[in-house]
């Protein structure tokens, strides 16, 4: 019986086939390095290699239709940036309140899994790329942050390694006050999860820094 190929090696092999550019391979290597020591994050790697109905993988996809990260690989670059920013914010917390590294990796890299598969390149009749390069078609309309939580837990549940409550809260509310439901739960969130906006702050900062690409 042949030895089972480690998931990270299979992941890199697939990404080399699909994403030959040096920039994107650099992203692949950085992501693999981050998740290697995080068992639950590692279980999510195959989802990143999966081509969605829009014929793009997570590493191909944009982060938005025309604003931040509206280009090939925008979603991966944005997510990696959010992880780095979240890590910096975490260091500002008291030592006994800091989040574990695996939580930072999962929340940073995977908070926007809800976007995977919803962006489609928009072309004019002349086949030229339109001024707004992408349009959306969401075939799994479960919301935004809550959809990411659902997708992640669907993948992790068979291994009995689902998100923690803190991770679920951070990802669910990573849009902060831009989520129309936030005001309804704001008081409860502030009372129960003092740092529930950490991911929102990291995400919003990266979004503003990226701007139009």
pLDDT in tens, 134-185: 888 888 888 899 999 999 999 999 999 999 999 999 999 999 999 999 999 9
pLDDT of residue 209 exceeding 70, the answer is: yes
Segment 35-50 shows an average pLDDT of 88
pLDDT at 127: 53
Question: Best-predicted range by mean pLDDT among 20-34, 43-57, 156-170?
Answer: 156-170
Q: How far apart are CA 82 and CA 12, in angstroms?
A: 22
Among residues 8, 6, 17, 27, the alpha carbon closest in space to that of 51 is found at 17
- The predicted-structure confidence for 58-89, as pLDDT tens digits, reads as follows 888 888 777 677 777 888 888 999 999 999 99
Single pTM value for the model: 0.82
pLDDT of residue 44 exceeding 60, the answer is: yes
pLDDT at 90: 95
pLDDT at 95: 92
- Percent of the chain with pLDDT strictly greater than 90: 46
pLDDT of residue 19 exceeding 70, the answer is: no
Q: How far apart are CA 213 and CA 210, in angstroms?
A: 7
Q: What are the start-end ranges of the E strands in the chain?
A: 119-123, 129-136
The band of 1, judged by pLDDT with boundaries at 50, 70 and 90, is very low
Instruction: For 177-210, give one letter per residue: b (16+ CB within 10 A) or e.
Output: eebeebeeeeeebeeeeebbbbbbbbbbbbbeeb
The band of 211, judged by pLDDT with boundaries at 50, 70 and 90, is low
């Amino acid at each position: 019986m042949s030895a089972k190929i480690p998931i990270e090696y299979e992941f890199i092999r697939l990404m080399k086939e699909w994403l030959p550019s040096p920039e994107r391979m650099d992203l692949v290597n950085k992501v693999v390095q981050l998740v290697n020591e995080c068992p639950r994050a590692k279980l999510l790697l195959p989802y990143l290699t999966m081509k969605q109905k829009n014929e793009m993988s997570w590493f191909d996809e944009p982060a938005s239709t025309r604003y931040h990260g509206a280009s090939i690989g925008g979603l991966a670059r944005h997510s990696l940036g959010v992880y780095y920013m979240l890590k910096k914010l975490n260091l500002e917390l008291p030592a006994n309140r800091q989040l574990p590294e695996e939580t930072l990796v999962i929340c940073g890299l995977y908070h926007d899994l809800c976007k995977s598969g919803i962006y489609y390149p928009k072309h004019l009749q002349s086949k030229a790329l339109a001024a707004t390069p992408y349009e959306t078609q969401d075939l799994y309309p479960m919301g935004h942050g809550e959809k990411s939580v659902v997708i992640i837990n669907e993948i992790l549940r068979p291994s009995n390694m689902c998100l923690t409550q803190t991770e679920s809260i951070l990802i669910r509310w990573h849009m902060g006050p831009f989520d129309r439901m936030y005001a309804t739960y704001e008081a409860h969130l502030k009372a129960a999860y003092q740092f529930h906006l950490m991911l929102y702050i990291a995400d919003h900062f990266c979004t503003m820094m990226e701007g139009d690409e």
